[in-house]
Amino acid sequence: MSSFILLFGCLIIGIVLQHVRDFPVNTPQVLNQFIIYISLPALALYFIPELVLDSTALLPVSVAWICFAGAALLFWSLGKLLGWSKKLIGCLILTAGLGNTAFIGFPVIEALYGKEGLKTAILIDQPGTFMVLSTLGIALAATFSKGEASTGIITKKILKFPPFLMFLLALAMNLLDLHFPDDLKEVFQRLGNTVSPIALVSVGMQLRLEKRSKHWGFLAIGLGYQLLLAPLLIYVLFVWVLGVRGEVVQVSVIEAAMAPMITASIVAASYGLKPRLANMMVGFGIPISFLTLAIWYWVVQGL
């Protein structure tokens, strides 16, 4: 319960801080940079060296890659058909294609399925969602922000993305069976725990309730995919096509139904991909997702 209070509390704090003049107008951008350069690398160093990577991990790890591919196919097709700008297409793919599998997902899964469910959630998030954002997400942001980008430029963007560099280091440690001392792991955990509160304060500081905003229709389309179509896609592929059942599938569907990823909205905003829509996806997606998550939890109980 405290995790949910923290989520909504930080979002409200950010909204309140919009009216506090002591905070510079670029405060959200500074907070976002702290997350990218400090908090996310710390998370990679905390989680990834301890993951157990074997054939049983393939199913949960594939969840984020499948959902992102589905978003790319859907929004690129709709964008071409309806004449959307590249920045709008890129924003929707990033924010609707990646779910908040960690900072909302972890407490939800642990509450519903305990520590065993949490192990599956970590596999969905770290080599899944986190890796997709650090590679395909950055490549997409670099491409759609300027319209065109060479392979060299995209590669440099990925290699200069601090979370990705730390992911590579942490993955190498995992493969070599190397581990950090407990004191260092505690430091990484504490730094990583700053992602959710700082990111939500940043989102709240940029969130505007504009009744005449042109983004409402796109918000509905983006959340419709993230909260309904993405988990349906995982359900159909895992249950109907592959014939798999059990707790791993239940957790996979629930994680696929999470609200949009906070960090993905930060990346979208940092690259100029419709920042207001990106923040609306998170700001409105989080409260709405608790209603849709209850529905999906009821759906998967028979698996």
- How many distinct structural domains can be found in the chain? 1
Q: Is residue 269 part of a domain?
A: yes
- Report which of 100, 118, 137, 72 is spatially closest to residue 256, judged by C-alpha positions: 100
- The single-letter DSSP state of residue 98 is S
- CA 225 from chain centre, in angstroms, equals 14
Query: How crowded is the C-beta side of 218, counted as CA atoms within 13 Å?
Result: 25
* pLDDT tens, position by position, 260-300: 998 899 899 889 999 989 988 988 898 899 899 999 999 99
Compute the residue count for the chain: 303
pLDDT at 148 over 70: no
Band of residue 21 on the pLDDT scale cut at 50, 70, 90: confident
Q: Is residue 21 part of a domain?
A: no
- The answer to whether residue 36 is domain-embedded is yes
Angle value at C-alpha 91, between 43 and 264, nearest 5 degrees? 5
Give this prediction's pTM.
0.84
Q: What does the alpha-carbon distance between residue 270 and residue 238 come to, in Å, rounded to a whole number?
A: 35
pLDDT tens column, 40-85 = 889 889 988 988 777 778 899 999 999 999 999 999 999 999 999 9
pLDDT digits (tens, 9 = 90+) for 164-188: 889 889 989 999 999 999 999 999 9
Confirm whether 242 is domain-assigned.
yes
Residue at 283 is within a domain: yes
Is 25 inside a domain boundary? no
Give the mean pLDDT of 232-246.
95
Rounded average pLDDT over 217-235: 96
With pLDDT > 90 as the criterion, what percentage of the chain qualifies? 48
Q: What CATH number is given to the structural domain containing 259?
A: 1.20.1530
14: in domain: no
Residue 150 pLDDT = 66
d(CA 127, CA 63): 10
Residue-number span of the structural domain to which 121 is assigned: 2-7+30-206+213-300
Which range in 71-85, 141-155, 189-203 is most confidently predicted, on average pLDDT?
Answer: 71-85
Amino acid letter, 168:
L
| 125 in any annotated domain | yes
Residue with structure tokens 């980008």? 149
Within 10 A of 37 (CB to CB), how many other CB atoms are there?
12
